[in-house]
Structure 1
Amino acid sequence: MFDTRTADTSLSMTHYIDICKAVKPAVSPDGELLVYLSDESGTAQVWTRSLAGGKPRQLTNLPEPVGNLAFNPKNRDLLITTDWGGDERHQLWLIENAEGEPRLLTTDTTVVHAWGCWSPDGTQIAYGANYRDRSHMDIHVMTVATGETKCVYEGIGWRSPAAFAPDGKSLLVNDCQRAMTDQDLCRLDLETDAYENILPHEGRARYQGPKFFKDGSGILLIADQEREYLSVMVKPHDAASLTELAAFEGQDVEALAISPHQNRIALVLNRQGWNDLLLIGRDGVVLKQLEMPVVGVVASIAWTPDGMSLIMPVEGAATSGDIWRCDVESGVFTRLTDAPKAKVKLPAFLEPTVTSVASFDSLDVPYFVYKPERAPGRDGYPVMIIVHGGPEAQWKPDFRADIQYMLARGIMVIAPNIRGSTGYGRDYQHLDDRELRMDSVADLKAVRMAVAARSDVDESRIGVFGRSYGGFMVLSAMTEYPDLWKLGVEYYGIANFLTLLQTTGPWRKELRAIEYGDAETMRDDLERFSPINRIGNIAAPLMIAHGLEDPRVTPCESEMVYSCLRGLGKPIEYLRVPHEGHGFARIENRRRVFGALARFIDENL
């Protein structure tokens, strides 16, 4: 048997967790200054450097991590956001001229301030906030110089401002009162207060990144209205319908950016989780594909003000994240940041491959395979299956320090995109909705059985790991199929859908009920889906960890699991993590949580 405890005792999970990344770049309107977020100091803070070169410097040193950042379109004033301990009740700050101390623009720490956009003249900002009712997000506009704020629209459910019109007299609003996957794109007239759905439609639709053309001819956006995949669309000024500009068979368009001269559009495409970069013309014709410097993923894309380059964060399964610049004429990429890497020499990082398995109903379920470089032991590799959260999300080959640690320890890692995942079309995404919830758990079993049948795998040593909704999948897998697992690890997972819908942040309740089911009309189904009601079935050791300020999946979910399993005398470990939310934002907490994961794997897998 291959023993992970003796695989390489010189390796420490901390060596991997301490690897930093640079994300969320923004360029000042004069094209001279780059800002971005880096966790080099232990939490995500704003860093800056000249776009032409030079040494980076840390701009903020706030007690809380920075979430978003956006330059004023007319100067170097920088808008940033923070919350408190991961509670997602974000506050808005201003750093004047990207220098000096941040100044708070909002002060009510009980309110969610959801960042929206700057006005074209740089005098105002628009954002969503739930001052009036914690369950509903209204639209607010603030005059930044004076702090004067006006609620410009009140409504039911969730909505957020997306873009001002070029004349600053109206706002595009992404209205999600039915579901995040069933949106309306609305126009709010700031002079008359008229609120109009500018794209009436039947069925579900998503609208992403809408932007007005400068010439007033219409709106450029990503949408899947009346189609299977997200595509580049145009809403003409004088029409209440969409015109297709560019679509790609079997692929979502995930991000776009139109050049300052409005003649070229950069696109990020999703190819089975990996990203490709394209340039298209205003007519939708593909001009060129840009070869990425790293095989991996791009979270956002933006043009430099001169229209000559693109700025983007790039990372891959074997490459931690940095900010890159691409000269669009030559296609040459230049790395602009050098986020700190490992302090000691580590084994080479490895890339995954992708394959699939037919599930119980013949549905093809894709999954990534991360195979250790070393040969397996006599009985084969031990395996950790990692299930992504969401559920409306997708496993992507981005950099995961914990996975590279496992590979170095001789553990194969499997990462499925079970039904309900995004990236494979609208129909696939909704195959786990409401009454169909447990079909996705059956997918996980199918993946597990396919992996166990491999000649290089020890089928008696397969564990399962997930966070958030992935934590629900761990608990469900271990209660539905208890004999299949050597161990389980779940971070901030759902144990009981009824308590989740009662305790999640009030601004999230209706949106979650649409995905999981209404507590009044589907109570029996929700009880059947909830693994807490079968928790005694768990046979393998389980480790759980939870941030105590989590507003999405509150700690009561983990407390239930821990108290039940402890009372039943089952092997259970529980890490309560103070001052963290739905994730672990501080390096000292990541070291603690993932260090415990490494020890738990060594002892049980």
Structure 2
Amino acid sequence: MTDDREAPVAHGPAPAVVRSGPPGPAGAGPVRSPDRRAGDVLDAARVAAPAPVPLPEAGGPRDALTRLRAHGCWYPSANADGSETAFICDRGGVPQLWAGPVDGDEARLLDSSPDPVKEVSWSPDGRWIAYTTAPGGGEHSRVLCVRPDGTGRRVLAGADPASSAYLGCWAHDGSAVAVTVAAPAAAAYGTLATRGPADSGPADGLLAGTRPAPDWADRDGHATLLGPAAYDAASGVAPDGTPTGITAPAARPDGGLSVYLVDPDGLASPVLLTTETHAASLRACDLSPDGGLALLRRGPRGRREAVVLRTADAVTTLVMPVADGDPWIGRFSPDARTLWLRSNDDREYAALLAVALDADGGPHAVSVAAERAESDLELLALAHDGRTAALAWNVRGASELELVETHPTGRTPDGTGPARPLPLPHEVVTRVTAAGAGRLLLALSGSQRRPGLWWAHEGVSLLRTPWSSKDEDAVPPGRPPVRPVPVRLTARDGLPLNGWYYRAPGRAPDEPAPCVIHLHGGPEEQERPVFHPLYHELVGRGLDVFAPDVRGSLGHGRSFVDADLGAGRFAALDDVADCAVHAVTAGPADPTRLAVMGRSYGGYLTFASLVWHPDLFRTGVAVCGMSDFLTFFAGTEPWIAESAAHKYGHPERDRELLRALSPMSRIDALRVPVLAVHGEHDTNVPPGESHQFVRAARERGVHAELLTLRDEGHDFLRADNRRLFRRAAADWMQRHLHP
């Protein structure tokens, strides 16, 4: 949806810029566009440099008109001395940008617009706060900045609704912020922008790509990938022989992703760091203090890479595999002679690696600085002086936090100082960031608490910020959240599986209960013991919830993540049935009152489970799920298709496999009622995926309903829509599972 408050950016060829003033990092000297070859790539890809677009001030009162008592606060980013933090809060009913002192009770709303906020980053010099929003709640995103007092708000990149922009790192002096810009669909993807029906135009209010393709019902769509085939990090070259380095010598006019350094003051032109045409993802994670090196993360799901780029001549000096999950994969040391990386290179679980760099940014030694058996390093944050690292470990779904010195006086054999554990009041850390000397800011969540922000001083004690929601506000009086019980089981092929079981209150331990098998998205996500309002709604209706990690989930080792690749997805479908059976045989679930539910990839598993195991479940609720892989590839964003091809199969080479894995290919087996839920602006999994499954079910006489949520994309971010979704899903389950 176009926001009529903002003017679109005029597109033209990106300039090749050489400059010595802002926004280049201090002391860096000239910052150049990569070289003539990279400029040719950019022009061929038709990616335009972002242009700032001033906006009216949009600050608001502390108490918004629509106010949630039980709100959440997350994604903190502190100013230089750690006295204040910017963060995301849904107190006003939608995730918005707020800021306030960490030890005071007054927080201020910096952007009162209804566009949900996704990421926040305070500049190192304290002058600007950069943040990412999703206009209209859809998948299109833009990067904005605003001064800490709420003035000077402007779009830095992504003002054109046909393109998207993503937030990267700041230069260490705060003079520039890195943004990733995706090429506009209309300019770069040809058929993508025109794949809607011929009689459907902009008047229908939908962006190109959100409407079903003309041949949707035929389920024979063709993907529009960024390249001729999926990006494969292991091969070193694209299928057409083009090297998969950051700047390819030959380009196709098929769009791509480009990283720019943007001056938030608008005094200097954006500077191109790099562009990539066969891109599934691309983000600037860090710049060395002198601006000479850039750390990038790229690649599709399951094949992420860290790339070190020399900014003066665009030479790639290091490429190393890194773990999925949090995109902020590492940091340079203050002298840029060590690169700290969160990586699972040649190992099952992600660890902290110390990569020694030479003067030109090339690696000459790699050592393991910190590791744990059967636990992933999930989050990594370094203090501003680079001498202390905060490490969050994923221990069977819960978090354990520790601090280590990266430049200790007395080193341990692994190259760091001794670890200092920091006890946590919640089960899960969702973000950790430096907040001045000796201070950390943590975003925490737990099974019985709303997400909140805490600050730790000298790594000794944790204090909750006063403006975070009170724990007693999370749920109505008399209905405390259910603390889940960890469950372990074995799949039919011997693979160990894990999950969390939520028992509805008020039942005897051995009394059979209706049970909802809830499946997370991803597939590379993980079920965590955090507060789930949906689960609270379901158990309040007398329904148990079993939330397992089927193969393909994060947190259980790289082999487990890869166990569902290609034809391994058939085994993942068996995992769903095995989990349901375990809930009956080893738990209190009633075998005659089982249901299946999930979102995104979990929505796909829901559709698939209903047709692969038609006698096992009484009903299902599929949320933003794929019903046919071929139409999914034809309708999704090209860069999403690029990344998903590695996970599911290539839409050209693996057509028969994708057809066999698609629920629509077995729709005749559907026997039970199904509710599909979708956001109207979802371009990740287009709404047509739900439309075609519901239509086919009705044509076969099966009861099927579709709930479309207005002003939402792939994630439901508005409080009223989330509430509507939870109540509709719980009503559906209660109606079909209770006797």
**1:80 matched to 2:80:** no
The residue type paired with residue 524 of structure 2 is E
Q: How does 1:11-50 map to 2 (within 5 A)?
A: 19-50=70-101
The residue type paired with residue 599 of structure 1 is D
In structure 1, what is the Cα distance between the partners aligned to 2:501 and 2:478? 21
The residue type paired with residue 138 of structure 2 is D
Secondary structure of 1:301's partner? strand
The residue type paired with residue 660 of structure 2 is R
Hey, what does 2:536 align to over in structure 1? 404
1:159 to 238, 262, 282: 282
Hey, what does 2:379 align to over in structure 1? 255
In structure 1, what is the Cα distance between the partners aligned to 2:459 and 2:651? 55
1:390-435 Cα deviation digits (max 9, x unpaired): 0011111111011112223322110110111110101111000012
1:91-132 Cα deviation digits (max 9, x unpaired): 111112342362222322211211111111211121211237
Hey, what does 2:296 align to over in structure 1? 173
Hey, what does 1:394 align to over in structure 2? 526
In structure 2, what is the Cα distance between the partners aligned to 1:56 and 1:145? 25
Shift of 1:66: 1.1
In structure 2, what is the Cα distance between the partners aligned to 1:408 and 1:61? 33
Hey, what does 2:65 align to over in structure 1? none
Q: How does 1:433-582 map to 2 (within 5 A)?
A: 433-454=565-586, 456-582=588-714
Shift of 1:148: 1.8
In structure 1, what is the Cα distance between the partners aligned to 2:693 and 2:584? 28
The residue type paired with residue 297 of structure 1 is V
**1:382 matched to 2:514:** yes
Q: How many residues align?
A: 583
Shift of 1:75: 1.7
**1:314 matched to 2:444:** yes
Hey, what does 1:69 align to over in structure 2? 120
**1:57 matched to 2:187:** no
Hey, what does 1:188 align to over in structure 2? 309
The root-mean-square deviation of aligned C-alpha atoms, in Å, is 2.1
CA 1:76 to 1:141, structure 2 compared with 1: closer, same or farther past 3 Å? closer
In structure 2, what is the Cα distance between the partners aligned to 1:144 and 1:262? 25
1:224-263 Cα deviation digits (max 9, x unpaired): 1111100011111122452110000000011122223433
* Greater percentage in strand: 1
Hey, what does 2:432 align to over in structure 1? 301
Shift of 1:78: 0.5
> Structure 1 stretch 87-96 or stretch 580-589: which is displaced more?
87-96
CA 1:18 to 1:555, structure 2 compared with 1: closer, same or farther past 3 Å? farther
In structure 2, what is the Cα distance between the partners aligned to 1:344 and 1:580? 27
CA 1:210 to 1:572, structure 2 compared with 1: closer, same or farther past 3 Å? same
Secondary structure of 1:593's partner? helix
1:152-192 Cα deviation digits (max 9, x unpaired): 3222213211111110133111121xx23223322223322
- Does the 8 A contact of 2:388 with 2:405 survive in 1? yes
Hey, what does 1:592 align to over in structure 2? 724
The residue type paired with residue 328 of structure 1 is E
Secondary structure of 1:299's partner? strand
Q: Could you list the runs of 5+ residues in structure 1 that have no partner in the other structure?
A: 1-16
Hey, what does 2:183 align to over in structure 1? 131
Hey, what does 1:122 align to over in structure 2? 174
The residue type paired with residue 312 of structure 1 is L
The residue type paired with residue 129 of structure 1 is V
1:334-371 Cα deviation digits (max 9, x unpaired): 34432263574241112111122211111111111111
1:16-66 Cα deviation digits (max 9, x unpaired): x98421110111113221221111111101122212313222221012111
- Does the 8 A contact of 2:106 with 2:467 survive in 1? no
Shift of 1:581: 0.4
> Structure 1 stretch 279-288 or stretch 121-130: which is displaced more?
279-288
TM-score (norm 2): 0.76
CA 1:441 to 1:87, structure 2 compared with 1: closer, same or farther past 3 Å? same
The residue type paired with residue 349 of structure 2 is Y
CA 1:75 to 1:535, structure 2 compared with 1: closer, same or farther past 3 Å? same
2:388 to 234, 239, 264: 264
- Does the 8 A contact of 2:105 with 2:467 survive in 1? no
The residue type paired with residue 298 of structure 1 is V
Q: How does 1:190-269 map to 2 (within 5 A)?
A: 190-194=311-315, 196-199=316-319, 208-238=328-358, 239-269=363-393
Shift of 1:322: 0.7
Hey, what does 1:287 align to over in structure 2? 419
The residue type paired with residue 453 of structure 1 is T
TM-score (norm 1): 0.92
- Does the 8 A contact of 2:87 with 2:97 survive in 1? yes
Hey, what does 2:211 align to over in structure 1? none
Q: Following superposition, which runs of at least 4 residues in structure 1 exceed 6 angstroms of deviation? A: 203-207
CA 1:316 to 1:293, structure 2 compared with 1: closer, same or farther past 3 Å? same
In structure 2, what is the Cα distance between the partners aligned to 1:572 and 1:257? 47
Hey, what does 2:464 align to over in structure 1? 334
CA 1:452 to 1:327, structure 2 compared with 1: closer, same or farther past 3 Å? same
Secondary structure of 2:574's partner? helix
In structure 2, what is the Cα distance between the partners aligned to 1:163 and 1:485? 48
- Does the 8 A contact of 2:320 with 2:345 survive in 1? no
Q: Could you list the runs of 5+ residues in structure 2 that have no partner in the other structure?
A: 1-67, 190-225, 227-255, 407-414
